[in-house]
Structure 1
Amino acid sequence: MKISYECGPCFLRQAREALDLSTDDELLKMEVMEDIFKFLSGNFKVDTNSNSTGSTMHAMIKQKTGCYDPYRKEKIEGNRIALKYLPDVRKILDEDDSLESYVKIAIIGNILDFGAFTLDDDIESVIKNSLKKDLVIKDIEEFENALENHDKVLYLVDNTGEIVFDKLLLSKIKEYDLDITVAVKSEPILNDACMAEALDAGLDEYGEIVEIGCGTVGYVDSQISEEFREIFDDHTFVISKGMGNYEGLTEIDLVDKDVFFLLCAKCNTISKHIGVNLHDMLLFKK
């Protein structure tokens, strides 16, 4: 997906956040931000790919600060908080164990920033209220048909914390007797899940975990490894979580694949691209 004018301030917000997590050296922050301004001034254009631009910017921050996992503490905390509430979520699903409920739970995971919650927050109420909301785009019948007619699926995860709720959907998918391959980032980027976080959340209970060969914002086809490209090409059924993977996969030819996107439209650029309202929850087939 290409950038919009609204991506500009978002890039700068991410840069400030990553710099604050990476270093306390104010002069270094100023130096790096100057470099980011120069980079964006030469590359922020109508036809620019959003994921590639963000990935380059974060790589600059890592290289110049020497901090290669700025969000490490936030990722650990995100999984910890999400795992604490897993029993409560399971109780909710015991009351309604439909496929749609599991899909909603996975998307709710995409809504919540677990690192921003404390143990005193009433996350269970947030979950219950979100479950009452309808999916605005709900290709649930096509999704279940894919589950019934494919023998394997590639599941592209998004953030830590969120992957704990993905685990519940993976358990539901397993009931359809599919082989599951879970794809994670090979290198830290933002609070995206890497191998360590996926193992910590127990995703390996439901399938093989593989790395995509890079640490990019979302999916960037030109940077995945040849090993992962073979895996990707070998799967005709793909489940994509989150906005970053949506942005990347819309840039490539998916004609011969059943690709389902599970996400919450959390920014105006994505909302307009899909044709929905901000904060809508979506399950749709490409």
Structure 2
Amino acid sequence: MKVHYECASCFLRQTREALDLATDDEELKMKITEMTNQILCRKFREGAVSNQIGTEIHRTIKRETGNPDPYYDLRGKSDDIAMQFLPRVEKMLKNDKSLKNYLKVAIAGNVLDFGALGLKSDIEGLVMSTVEKDLALDHSKQLEKKLKKARNVLYLADNVGEIVFDKLLIKKLQEYEVKVTVALKEEPILNDACMQEALDVGLDEVARLITTGTDAIGVIYDDLSDSFRKEFWKTDIIIAKGLGNYEGLTEVDLKAKPVYCLLNAKCQPIARDIGVELGGNVVLELN
């Protein structure tokens, strides 16, 4: 996805929040903020790709502060929030076991995102209000049709905490007799899920786990490891969670690969790009 005008201020907001999490050194914060502004001056223009700029900014913050995981404490908070709502969500799924309902639950988990929504967001309230909303864009029937013919699915994970809800959807996918492989980040960036977080919530109990070979936000094709690229092209279906994966996948020549993006349109540029209202729940077929 190309940048929209609002993305510039969002990058600066994320920079401030990540710096406050990463270090207490005020002089260092000023230095890195100047570096972030330089990145934006060089890279932020019409036609630039949003997740590529975001990745460069957050890699710069990690490198210059010497903090490999500024969002470390928020990872635990996200897990706690997800586990808090899990019994209520599971009860809701017992009343409606349709694939669409499981997709809605997985999308509700997508609001566990302090990077996109900010550190002061009422994440708890957003989770339940999101799960109760219908889909603003619903390609779930197309996905179900593809699942009935598929043998394997590559599931691109997004945030920590969110993967607790992903686990429920992955169990549902197994009813279609597909083998699910979940792709996680090789190293921390923002609050994206890595291998350890997936193991902590038992994602390995329901799926094979791999990494993308990189810490890029979403998918930056040239950054992906060779082994992951092979996984990407050999799978029958790709299910991609979250904004970063949407931003990156829309810049990849997917050929005829069936790709489904599951997300909550948490920011106006994403909502505008997809064509839904802000906060809309989306199951989008890219191909």
Q: Say whether the fold is shared (TM-score over 0.5).
A: yes
For residues 26 and 123 of structure 2, the distance between their equivalents in structure 1, rounded to whole angstroms, comes to 37
Residue 150 to residue 122, structure 1, CA distance change in 2 (3 Å): closer
Aligned to 1:95: 95
After TM superposition, give the deviation of residue 162 of structure 1 in Å: 0.8
Residue type of the alignment partner of 2:285: K
1:184–1:193 CA contact under 8 A, matched in 2: yes
After TM superposition, give the deviation of residue 128 of structure 1 in Å: 5.4
Aligned to 1:75: 75
After TM superposition, give the deviation of residue 34 of structure 1 in Å: 1.0
Q: What's the TM-score once normalised by structure 2's chain length? A: 0.93
After TM superposition, give the deviation of residue 269 of structure 1 in Å: 1.0
For residues 128 and 18 of structure 2, the distance between their equivalents in structure 1, rounded to whole angstroms, comes to 32
After TM superposition, give the deviation of residue 224 of structure 1 in Å: 0.5
For residues 240 and 100 of structure 2, the distance between their equivalents in structure 1, rounded to whole angstroms, comes to 16
Aligned to 1:3: 3
After TM superposition, give the deviation of residue 49 of structure 1 in Å: 1.4
Q: What's the TM-score once normalised by structure 1's chain length? A: 0.93
2:156–2:245 CA contact under 8 A, matched in 1: yes
Aligned to 1:157: 157
2:112–2:159 CA contact under 8 A, matched in 1: no
Identity %: 47
For residues 114 and 59 of structure 1, the distance between their equivalents in structure 2, rounded to whole angstroms, comes to 17
Gaps of 5+ in 2: none
After TM superposition, give the deviation of residue 126 of structure 1 in Å: 5.9
After TM superposition, give the deviation of residue 35 of structure 1 in Å: 1.3
Aligned to 2:185: 185
After TM superposition, give the deviation of residue 264 of structure 1 in Å: 0.8
Residue type of the alignment partner of 2:19: L
After TM superposition, give the deviation of residue 127 of structure 1 in Å: 5.3
Q: Does 1:198 find its partner at 2:203?
A: no
For residues 25 and 127 of structure 2, the distance between their equivalents in structure 1, rounded to whole angstroms, comes to 39
Residue type of the alignment partner of 2:181: T
Residue 114 to residue 56, structure 1, CA distance change in 2 (3 Å): closer
Deviations 1:199-241 (A, max 9, x none): 1111111111100010011111110001101111111310010
Aligned to 1:57: 57
Aligned to 2:212: 212
For residues 214 and 126 of structure 2, the distance between their equivalents in structure 1, rounded to whole angstroms, comes to 34
Deviations 1:43-88 (A, max 9, x none): 1111211111111111111111100100111112211331233222
Deviations 1:171-204 (A, max 9, x none): 1001111100000000100000000111111111
Residue type of the alignment partner of 1:184: L
Residue type of the alignment partner of 2:111: I
For residues 259 and 25 of structure 1, the distance between their equivalents in structure 2, rounded to whole angstroms, comes to 43
For residues 261 and 146 of structure 1, the distance between their equivalents in structure 2, rounded to whole angstroms, comes to 14
Deviations 1:79-133 (A, max 9, x none): 13312332221111111111111010001111244899xxxx995x865543442
2:108–2:128 CA contact under 8 A, matched in 1: no
1:83–1:201 CA contact under 8 A, matched in 2: no
For residues 187 and 251 of structure 1, the distance between their equivalents in structure 2, rounded to whole angstroms, comes to 22
Residue 148 to residue 225, structure 1, CA distance change in 2 (3 Å): same
Aligned to 2:224: 224
Residue type of the alignment partner of 2:165: F
**Structure 1 stretch displaced more, 251-260 or 105-114:** 105-114
After TM superposition, give the deviation of residue 255 of structure 1 in Å: 2.3
Gaps of 5+ in 1: none
For residues 261 and 281 of structure 1, the distance between their equivalents in structure 2, rounded to whole angstroms, comes to 11
